[in-house]
Structure 1
Amino acid sequence: MKTKAILFLVLLLSITTMIAQDNCSKFYPMTEGVAMEYTNYNKKGKVENVSSFKVVNVSNTGGTTNATMAINLKDNKGKDIYDTDYNLSCTGNLVTLDYESLLPTEMMQQYGDMDIEISGNDIEIPNDLNVGQNLNDANVTMKISMSGINMNMAVDMTNRKVEKKESVTTPAGTYECFVLYSENRSKMMMANQVYPSRVWLSEGVGMVKQETYKKNGDLMSSTMLTSYNK
């Protein structure tokens, strides 16, 4: 359970780079009905699960856009693992996530009546990405309390930078992408691990590909855009 929770927090930070609103960023179109499917692979290239994202509601209040994204995760046999929604808001050039709603109901149920507190700093993606550019750090923290015992889990995304531009082909098409590098450090009790990561972002689409590595550089897992529908 600990490993799953840590990996989910890493995924949580990665999801943030997938989605934003047209009037806030040129990289991530968001209108009701837009749907994306991502296939997740293990280090050997075998399918582990498939995640589907769909924009189900978008509203505008003043200068802020609020949106709801529905997520469905299926295992490699097509069996549902969980369904959940999460909310985000977009103001100016920044996207703000409702971190608590990103945690799936199934995961929360496993913690029973524990008190859970979630906080974090948003991932920021500027409109004017350039190769060599450094980006602000981000993090998410989850504090769990039970019978006077506290357990903290955190993921810090640091050393973020735009490495290069390159073309990427997936089952959904061929895209020109910026490659963003980061180091994701997960902390849980006495465990402290670093997972370097690269995300391929395409203008008007969002995340096209992601790779997560062990500290020594070996591939640990990957994610690829396999379907995109406006």
Structure 2
Amino acid sequence: MRFLIISIILLSVFYSQAQDCKGFIPYKTGTKWEITNYNAKGKPTGRIAYELKSKENNAEGLKYTVQMTSYDQKDNETFSNTFEAWCKNGVFEFDMKRFMSGESMQMFGNTDCQIDASEMEMPSMSAAAGTVLKDASLAISTSGGIGLNMTVDISDRKVEAKEKIETPAGVFDCIKISQLISTKMMVKIQAKSIEWYAEGVGMVASESYNKKGKLMGTSKLTRFEN
């Protein structure tokens, strides 16, 4: 009897934490959405199609599994992979594998890759402007042959504001996040990005700038079907 009571209490706590965690991802399994990327002049350079494949409770919390497929500007598939997201102890986190772009992975070809990805913690929608967020990182490497290595380090993350953003997929109430991104693969590239996220949707828009502050490209949510 005592064991049963303790189990019910633990399950109640877990359920409460899962409910309190507002995810930056669609909640309904089977939902499909699409991000279109543009260059600095506004010309489409490719797209990434997503689908929420599963949502399940486990020992760590509520886990989401997402299928992502990248396409180039001629709409040829360049890369396909899955990544995960979680609600853990009331906090939503992305698997950094979602930053694996089709353009980058083409360089690795059919080689076996070792991937070391951290989680990227997201704030709550009620987070105040100036809230500082944890750094995140991604490392991809190959063994044998020439050997290729790529690292992505995201730092200086913070909440900037809450804004309403309009995209071809609709109008969304968003939290605005800024961050520095350092990518190294033979050469090191540093950039600043600004991203807008909506609860129950995910990223709806982004802007990327080089270290001199010049706009390099943008992304927008162009399709959302649930």
TM-score normalised by the chain length of structure 2: 0.78
- Structure 2 partner of 1:132: 130
Distance 1:167 1:179 in 2: 10
Match for residue 83 of structure 2 among 70, 86, 93: 86
Q: Does 1:67 align with 2:48?
A: no
- Structure 2 partner of 1:17: none
Match for residue 206 of structure 1 among 202, 207, 212: 202
Aligned length: 206
Gaps of 5+ in 1: 1-20
The alignment-based identity, stated in percent, is: 30
Q: 1:90 to 1:26 in 2, by over 3 A?
A: closer
Contact residue 96 and residue 137 of structure 2 kept, 8 A: no
1:133 maps to amino acid: T
Query: What does the per-residue CA deviation read over 1:34-70, in whole Å, with 9 as the maximum and x for residues that have no partner?
Result: 2211111111110111211111222222452233212
Q: Does 1:51 align with 2:48?
A: yes
**Alpha-carbon distance, 1:82 to partner:** 3.3
Q: Does 1:175 align with 2:172?
A: yes
Q: 1:74 to 1:85 in 2, by over 3 A?
A: same
Distance 2:35 2:98 in 1: 22
Q: Does 1:162 align with 2:156?
A: no
Aligned to 2:120, the other structure's residue is in SS state: coil
**Alpha-carbon distance, 1:150 to partner:** 5.0
| Regions of 4+ moved over 6 Å | none
Query: What does the per-residue CA deviation read over 1:103-141, in whole Å, with 9 as the maximum and x for residues that have no partner?
Result: 77x947944455x32213211013242111111111111
- Structure 2 partner of 1:218: 214
- Structure 2 partner of 1:193: 189
TM-score normalised by the chain length of structure 1: 0.76
Quick check: which has more Rg, 1 or 2? 2
Contact residue 190 and residue 210 of structure 2 kept, 8 A: yes
**Alpha-carbon distance, 1:228 to partner:** 1.4
Contact residue 209 and residue 217 of structure 2 kept, 8 A: yes
Gaps of 5+ in 2: 1-17
